[in-house]
Every structure is written in C-alpha cells, then in structure tokens.
Amino acid sequence: MSKAVIEVKGLHKIYEGAVPVKAVNGIDLVISEGEFTALKGPSGCGKTTLLNLLGGLDQPNSGSIIIDDTDITGLSDNELIDFRLHHIGFVFQAYNLIPVLSATENVSFIMLLQNRSKDERMERAHQLLEAVGLAGKEDKRPGELSGGQQQRVAVARALASKPKFVLADEPTANLDSESTSKLLEIMLQLNKQENMTFIFATHDNRVIAKAKRVVGISDGRIVSDTSK
Amino acid sequence: MIFKVAWRNIWRSRIRSIIVLSSIAIGIWAGLVIIGFSFGMNNERTSAAIGATLGHSQAHHRAFIEDPQPNAMLSEAIIKELETTLDAQNFVTGYAKRTVLQGMVASPKKTRATRIIGVNAEAERKVTTIPNYMVEGDFFESKTRKGVVISEKLAQKMGLSMRKKLVLTFQDHRGIIHKATFRVSGMYRTLNSAWDELNLYVQQDDIEKIVGGSLIHEVLISYDKSEDTEQKTKAIVSQIKEPTVITSWKENSPELGFADDMMGIMLVLVLGIIMLALLFGIINNMLMAVLERRRELGMLMAVGMNKRKVFLMILLETLMLGFVAGPTGIVLGDVTVRAMMRIGLDLSTKKDGLAELGVGSVIYPEIVPEYYLIIAIMVVTTALIAALFPAYKALKLNPVTAIRGN
C-alpha cells in the first residue's frame, strides 16, 4: 500500500460574517503518494477552501492536516511559507506567472528561493520545460505564450521545488479543449513517471474523467469518494 | 534573480517609472543648482567683504572693541610684537595698520556722521581690494595732500563730486577736537552699500600731521586663502598677549558670519523639502506598483517566498529608482552649474537690491562637492523610507485573497 502524503482529520473552516458559512464542515481524508485525485463539486461547495487548507494558505477552525509527519495547522506564517516552499507545488487557475521573467526564469525562481545553485536551477528548469512540451520556448516571457503554454510553465514551476504533491485549483478553467487535454496528458505522464501526487479542485468533466480518484464535495462535506 | 525581477518590475509601467525617475532627477538637479547659486552668491558676498572691508582678521586694543574711542590705540610696542608674530605666520600674506576715528563729514549742503579710516595706501593695496572698487579718481596713487576717498553713495547724499572740498571733524586721543578740510580725490563703490555710506578713507600721514602723532587703532590682516580662517585666526590668537585682541571676519561681521554658518543649514532644509516632495511621489508610485501586483505577490508568498524576501524585493525596486535617478540628477545639476559658472546669472534688474546684500548683479554659481554626497545620502534615505509603506502593504497581503484578485 502507498504511503499517505496527506492525512486530514475533522477539518472545519467557518467564514465569519453576518451569516457564518461552514465552507469545510468536518472532512476526513487521506491522500496517498502517487494519487491523481480530483475534488469535484459545484461552485461554493468548499473544494477550493479545502485545497487552500491543504496547501497551508488558509488556517482551519479545527481539525488537523498532517503532511510528512507535520501537522501544518500548528505552524506559524513564516513556517508555513517555508513548508510550502519545500513540500507543496501550486498550479493556479490564472497561471500567475511572473510576467517580467522568461519561462526558464519563472521555473527556476522557486529553486532560487530554495537556495539551489544556478547550474542545478538551469538544468532542472530545462528538464521540466522539456517535460511539459515547451522545449524551444524557454526564453519566452508569459505574454509571448498562449494560455495553455503558460499553464504548462506553471506546472513545471510547481514541480521545480520537488514537492511532495501538487495542488491545482481549476487549472483548466481558462483553457480550450486542446490545451486542456495536452495539459492533462503531461500531468498524467509526470504522475506516472515521477510518481508525483496531484490533487485538483475542479468541476471540469475532462479533468474528472482523467482522475484516478474522484472525491465529491457538497456543502463542505465529502459526499462521495470513488477510485478507478 | 531578485535584483533582476526588481529591475524589470520597474520597467513594467514604463511611463509611470519615467515620470517618477524624472521627478527625482529634476528635484536633485534643482537642489544642486540652488546650492550652486546660493554658495556662489554667499561666497561672492563674503570674499568681497573680506577683500574690501573686513580682511580675514583684525587686531585691536581690547578697549577699542569695548568702546571705539580715539585713545584706545595700539602702542608702538604692541604693534612691534604683533608684527613679529604676523611675520612668522606663513599663511599671513600681509597686514595694514589703520587709524579709525568716528567723526563728522560736512559739505556745503549737508553734515553726516562718518567713520574716518586713515590708511597707508601702499600697505592697504596689498591687503584690501578697495582700489579695485574705484569708480572715479584713484586710491591715493596721485599722492594728493589731504585727499579723501569717499563712496559714490556718500557723494550723492552729500552733494559732492570729484575735487570738491569737505570738512572732517574728529576728536584725537587726547580729546582735542580737530576740524580739517579735505578734497575728494577718489570715489569708490563696493558691493556693500551700508559700508559705503558710512566709511571714508584718508591718508594716515595727513591725520598724523593734524593730531601730531601716530594713531593706530586697527591692523587689518590678510591670509593666503579664505579657507580655515577660524583656525588660522586661533593660531595667531594663541601667540598674542593682552590687551591685543584678534578677531576673525566672522566676529567682525556677525551678520556675514551668521549667513555663512546658516547657509549650510538652510540648504539642507531646502534639500529636505525637495526630498519630502519626492518621498510622496515615490510612495505613490510604489504603492500603485504593489497594489497592481497583488495577485503576483500573493502567488509568490503562496509558493514560498518569505516575507523578508518580499520586503527586500520592494525595497530594491524603490532603491533602484533612486540609484537611476540620483546620478542622473547629479550629473545634470553638475553640468548646469559648470555651464552657469562660465556664463553667470545676470540679475541686473535687481542690481540695487543685490547691492544692499553686498552682492554683484551677475551671480556665478559654485560647485560644492560635499553636497553631492549629502544629496546621494538623502536620495538613498528617501528611497528607503519611501519603500517602507508599500513594502508593509505587500507584507499584509493575504495570499488566498490576493491570488483571487480581491
């Protein structure tokens, strides 16, 4: 049996306001190494909140999230930033690349934050860009790339730090069908070749169709969990 | 790479950055030009006053400092001792002994209080620049007996002209009042109209003949350079005994010394005001840059860029603005001041007002190298301060909301 990468127990997240919203309402979840998991559900069901909690971007009201034997709910802001840098890769819906840097520089920037040597950064950035099908586009800036290509740079960037897993929030929402299938192929290949764990928050059926495990979420609770 | 990112970020909004860079450069340029002209004007005023009227320092009997009566003279023995001391100083280029008497000057039309300065023309020429300010006649070169050199301004007030007679009334050291007729042999006009109105020059020999002896009240001392006059004066003071008192030009003309001392403070204040204006411009620019890049900064914090590095990046961007605009402004200012040093700023229309201040009508600016360093330090400090608020705003961003673009 594969080793658990993430263990979530009794997770609650309530957004306070005039009417408190229980975005995550008692979730227990275990994600194992090498999984290709989709968190599906309608808008506002809590999947993005869950993803943010798993990524240490948001703090839960109660519950625990154990990653690599560390309960990240007990970490300070600075410890969380450092933890994210070394353990978690992120792919965002809007790519969020640094517009003034080339594709190579965008990928290697994360490794710079990890204080890796220039040679190592360059070598891995080239490898990753080749792996996502962007060989020859290394020197292009985000503005010179299509949406699909930018998202592939974002995937390469997410993998650059050699994370334990990659969290992807609606990564295909801004992509056309061709770019979506190409991106999914690349991620599946990386999942297979490098045993990289991917967790998606999505309501895109094309992603759900490719996922090996689909976790259904509604009103902040897990309502289904199926593996293929 | 953070340097690279910071540098490229500056040029993301090219027009905005160029406007901010230009405003910093123009502010520095303006500061340097103001400094150049202020120093030029002040130094011209100071050197004209030192050259024409004050000398670098003066020696008097202590009693003369307290009350400038005719009997407060420097005795022959004191003068001899003083001359020995002054001759031994390698920075003393000359000295001139003067008789200084308070008296009255009368023309057929008017009578006024005056200060009669008895000079040895030859010695005076070595120490002062008064002969350079002659507008009519000469400074006792023609050896006219009982000649008097008055200012053009006094001549106008008294209704006098060249070769006209006037009567000087004064008291000697024994209390005897003398009245003597002199003839106008020259007219001068210095840059200090207040001085011109009060002082007139006669030959010491003529005074001696009238009072029947030598009367020395003042020794005007000239140094090789106008720098470090206070230290040079102190060097002489340390070797001089009572009752002789040596006073520097700053002590003899406190308003001029005060202006000289205040100049530096005033200019730093002016620069401070310029920097304050720039500070808000830079803060505005950087704040806009941070707010426009909220999503990107949120992403950077999400993927693991710690707060220290985010702060450093904003700081670097702000400093880079200063490092680009600062030297540009300094070079522009330097070039302008150097060009104006040749041409001068012609303020002939304000001639009379400037003369009241002891300044000529064409002002030549000066290069003041130490202010380049002060400006450089102020620009860096301003940039550092300006970076704080935008950087603080960046640090306060919540990655989740920033990435969403809220």
DSSP string, B156-189: HHHT--TT-EEEEEEE-TTS-EEEEEEEEEEEE-
With an 8 Å Cβ cutoff, are B304 and A98 in contact? no
Record the pTM: 0.71
Give whole-number Cα distances, B202 to B58, B124, B143, B180, B217, in Å: 19, 12, 11, 11, 14
Q: Which backbone phi and psi does A114 adopt, to 5 degrees? A: -90, 5
Encode pLDDT of A4-29 as tens digits: 889 999 999 998 888 888 888 899 99
**The token pair that represents A181 in the structure block:** 């299938």
B309 interfaces chain A, CB cutoff of 8 Å: yes
Spatial separation of the C-alpha atoms in residues B135 and B140, rounded to whole Å: 13
Query: Which candidate, B219, B253, B203, B244, places its Cα nearest to that of B92?
Result: B219
B4 interfaces chain A, CB cutoff of 8 Å: yes
Cis status, amide bond into A99, omega within 30 of 0: no
Query: Which candidate, A35, A33, A11, A34, places its Cα nearest to that of A24?
Result: A11
Q: A-B interface: how many C-beta pairs under 8 angstroms?
A: 71
- Write the CB contacts of B277 (distance below 8 Å, at least 6 apart in sequence): B27
| DSSP 8-state code for residue A45 | S
- Write the CB contacts of B136 (distance below 8 Å, at least 6 apart in sequence): B152, B162, B186, B187
Q: How far is B302 from chain A (nearest CA, A)?
A: 7
Spatial separation of the C-alpha atoms in residues B261 and B177, rounded to whole Å: 42
Encode pLDDT of B206-247 as tens digits: 999 998 888 899 999 998 877 788 888 888 888 888 888 888
Q: Say how many C-beta atoms besides its own lie within 10 A of residue A85's C-beta.
A: 19
With an 8 Å Cβ cutoff, are A101 and B299 in contact? no
ipTM associated with this complex: 0.86
pLDDT of B360 > 80? The answer is no
Query: Which candidate, A75, A4, A79, A74, places its Cα nearest to that of A34?
Result: A4
Domain ranges of chain A: 4-227
pLDDT band at A127 (very low <50, low <70, confident <90, very high): confident
In this complex, which of A86, A96, A113 lies closest to B299 when CB atoms are compared?
A96
Instruction: For chain B, give percent helix, strand, coil, nearest 5.
Output: 60, 20, 20
CB crowding B105-141: b at 16 or more within 10 Å, else e: bbbeeeeeebbbbbbbbebbbebbbbbebbeebbbbe
pLDDT of B105 > 80? The answer is yes
Q: Find the DSSP H helices in chain A.
A: 47-54, 77-87, 103-113, 118-131, 147-160, 177-194, 205-210
Contact list, A54 vs chain B (CB under 8 Å)? none
- Write the CB contacts of B241 (distance below 8 Å, at least 6 apart in sequence): B81
User: By CA distance, what is A159's nearest residue in B?
Assistant: B303
User: By CA distance, what is B399's nearest residue in A?
Assistant: A57
* pLDDT at residue B53 in the model: 83
Encode pLDDT of B69-101 as tens digits: 998 888 888 889 888 888 888 888 889 999 999
* pLDDT at residue A132 in the model: 83
B406 interfaces chain A, CB cutoff of 8 Å: no
With an 8 Å Cβ cutoff, are B304 and A55 in contact? no
In this complex, which of A84, A99, A101 lies closest to B304 when CB atoms are compared?
A84
pLDDT band at A221 (very low <50, low <70, confident <90, very high): very high
pLDDT band at B348 (very low <50, low <70, confident <90, very high): confident
Spatial separation of the C-alpha atoms in residues B232 and B251, rounded to whole Å: 14
- Specify the DSSP element, H or E, that contains A198: strand A197-202
Say how many residues make up chain B.
Answer: 406
Q: Say how many C-beta atoms besides its own lie within 10 A of residue A183's C-beta.
A: 26
Bridge-based pairing state of the strands B57-61 and A221-227 = unpaired
With an 8 Å Cβ cutoff, are B295 and A96 in contact? yes
- Write the CB contacts of B403 (distance below 8 Å, at least 6 apart in sequence): A92, A94, A96, B295, B298, B299, B302
pLDDT band at B343 (very low <50, low <70, confident <90, very high): confident
Q: How far is A100 from chain B (nearest CA, A)?
A: 6
Distance from the Cα of residue A226 to its chain's centroid: 20
% of chain A with per-residue pLDDT over 90: 35
Mean pLDDT of A105-116: 90
Q: Lowest-confidence range among B7-21, B105-119, B378-392?
A: B7-21
* pLDDT at residue B13 in the model: 82
- Amino acid B356 reads E
The DSSP secondary structure of B364-386, one letter per residue, reads -----HHHHHHHHHHHHHHHHHH
Encode pLDDT of A136-158 as tens digits: 899 999 999 998 899 889 888 98
Given the structure tokens 């001792």, which residue do they identify? Answer: B81
With an 8 Å Cβ cutoff, are B1 and A98 in contact? no
Encode pLDDT of B265-312 as tens digits: 888 888 889 889 889 988 988 898 888 888 888 888 888 888 888 888
With an 8 Å Cβ cutoff, are A86 and B400 in contact? no
* pLDDT at residue A1 in the model: 55
Query: Which candidate, B307, B318, B317, places its Cα nearest to that of B397?
Result: B307
Contact list, A105 vs chain B (CB under 8 Å)? 1, 4
B2 interfaces chain A, CB cutoff of 8 Å: yes
Domain ranges of chain B: 2-49+257-404, 68-225
Q: What is the mean pLDDT of chain A?
A: 89
Spatial separation of the C-alpha atoms in residues B99 and A78, rounded to whole Å: 82
Q: How far is A101 from chain B (nearest CA, A)?
A: 7
User: By CA distance, what is A98's nearest residue in B?
Assistant: B296
Choose between A88 and A194: higher pLDDT: A88
Q: Find the DSSP H helices in B199-292.
A: 204-211, 229-237, 249-252, 254-292
Q: How far is B401 from chain A (nearest CA, A)?
A: 10
B301 interfaces chain A, CB cutoff of 8 Å: yes
User: Are A163 and A85 a contacting pair, CB within 8 Å?
Assistant: no
Contact list, A85 vs chain B (CB under 8 Å)? 303-306
Distance from the Cα of residue B331 to its chain's centroid: 23
User: Are A163 and A86 a contacting pair, CB within 8 Å?
Assistant: yes
User: Are B305 and B7 a contacting pair, CB within 8 Å?
Assistant: no
With an 8 Å Cβ cutoff, are A82 and B399 in contact? no
Contact list, B403 vs chain A (CB under 8 Å)? 92, 94, 96
pLDDT of B34 > 70? The answer is yes
User: Are B136 and B203 a contacting pair, CB within 8 Å?
Assistant: no
User: By CA distance, what is B309's nearest residue in A?
Assistant: A113
* pLDDT at residue B406 in the model: 57
Choose between B325 and B360: higher pLDDT: B325
In this complex, which of B298, B304, B403 lies closest to A81 when CB atoms are compared?
B304
Interface test with A, best of B4, B14, B293, B303 (most A CBs within 10 A): B303
Q: How far is B309 from chain A (nearest CA, A)?
A: 9
Give whole-number Cα distances, B249 to B59, B66, B114, B192, B220, in Å: 11, 17, 21, 15, 10
**Fold topology of A4-227:** Rossmann fold (3.40.50)
Encode pLDDT of B126-159 as tens digits: 888 888 889 999 898 887 788 999 999 999 999 9
* pLDDT at residue B101 in the model: 93
Contact list, B300 vs chain A (CB under 8 Å)? 98
Spatial separation of the C-alpha atoms in residues A164 and A106, rounded to whole Å: 20
B83 interfaces chain A, CB cutoff of 8 Å: no
Helix (H, G, I), strand (E, B) or coil at B91: coil
Spatial separation of the C-alpha atoms in residues A43 and A26, rounded to whole Å: 19
Interface test with B, best of A57, A72, A82, A162 (most B CBs within 10 A): A57
In this complex, which of A78, A94, A110 lies closest to B303 when CB atoms are compared?
A110
